[in-house]
Amino acid sequence: MVEYNPFTVAQAEVDRAADLLELEPAMRELLRWPLRELQVRLPVHMDDGSVQVFEGFRIQHNDARGPTKGGIRYHPAETIDTVRALAMWMTWKCAVVDIPLGGAKGGVICNPKEMSEAELERLSRAYIGQVGRIIGPDRDIAAPDVYTTPQIMAWMMDEYCRLSGNSDFGAITGKPLGIGGSLGRNDATARGGWYTVREAAQELDIDLGGATIAVQGYGNAGSYTAILGQQLFGCRIIAVSDSSGGIINEAGLNAEAVLQHKARTGSVAGFPAADSIDNGELLALDVDVLWPAALENVITADNAAQIKAKIVAEAANGPTTPEADPILYENDIHVIPDFLCNAGGVTVSYFEMVQNASRDQWSEEYVHQRLDKKMTEAYHTVGDVANHHGVDMRTAAYLVAVQRVAEAVALRGWV
């Protein structure tokens, strides 16, 4: 099986958009690489009295349109190239939904499942102690991502405020409500994705009431995707999976009950009244909407021809490789690309920043209304470009996003 470097994939996607936009060489080179990278070593006192040194990163891809913004991952398989790719994708994500931010990403190589709460707090504070010099509400705003939580964001925000001497709550988003978090943030990624799926289903004449859904990855985004699919549209969730296994029931799964089972056991596997299924089988199910909601590179040239879903809604970052895209397009599978589909999270994080800056608190209904407007407008902007140029939705999304960033770079006189 081919091993894909996510940063090489991200650069190839930019190259294609640059070719279509006929960008000059200097502009192309600037957009292919992060503007700034920081690698750090984090000594952390563990509960057993030992000291463990962790490796971390903070990468700022482009801030031509505004301060950079991006999550922080805690993952044992984290790499600098993964963080580079995610930072770049965040730039395009902010641009495609037209919010005044650039892209960044952070990560620490660790296994949070094997760490105590006290160890996670010490690691989180150590990370801010190192990267705090390059972040801030007007520089680079951090947020949660894989295996980081609102509580971890609270520790990071507190450490940043301690170091700055100010109540800079807006330096970190995804915080608990009691310290400046936003209503509607927990399910924002999934909810924003569903707004785009709703628009796509109308175009394709798919009735979401009773539509069949498969979700690969049952973490935050994936579980909320399943739950909201049932609550908002009455969809039938027939299969879900996580890193430990998958389950299927053609009659439908109770998404909330599956989440409770995972909370008790650590996995969706073994859920009563369901059969087991592996991730490869789940991806190939004949469903109305397939949600890849785990990690990168799960739909490749090797399995793209097996995809039967009418809509592939990419809740994860980079789940489809460049070689797989033309296969899906030729097979009339409507792909809603990652940095459009999952932009609801960063959009509500932006709303959180706005609320922190104005010392305001919006109602959940107002957050949902504004998110719906942003996601719907972005979906149709990309769709119009796809129809005009006769290209797939991912290419169209890149054309929209890269053009907006390139315009900002030019207007600022960088190139």
Task: Specify whether the CB–CB gap between 240 and 254 falls below 8 A.
Answer: no
In angstroms, the CA 209 to CA 196 distance is 16
Write down the catalytic residue from 93, 105, 175, 310. 105
DSSP string, 206-219: ---TT-EEEEE--S
DSSP string, 255-314: HHHHHHHHHHHSSSTT-TT-EEE-HHHHHT---SEEEE-SSS--B-TTTGGG---SEEE-
Among 177, 179, 143, smallest CA distance to 158 is for: 179
Residue 104 sits at the vertex; the CA angle it makes with 56 and 183, to the nearest 5 degrees, is 105
Token pair in block for residue 214: 């498969």
Q: Which residues contact 167 (CB under 8 A, 6 or more apart)?
A: 161
In angstroms, the CA 352 to CA 175 distance is 9
Q: Examine the residue annotation and report whether 105 is marked as an active-site residue of this protein.
A: yes
Q: CA–CA distance from 239 to each of 112, 168, 281, 313 (Å)?
A: 27, 42, 10, 15
Q: Which residues contact 407 (CB under 8 A, 6 or more apart)?
A: none
- The catalytic residues are 105
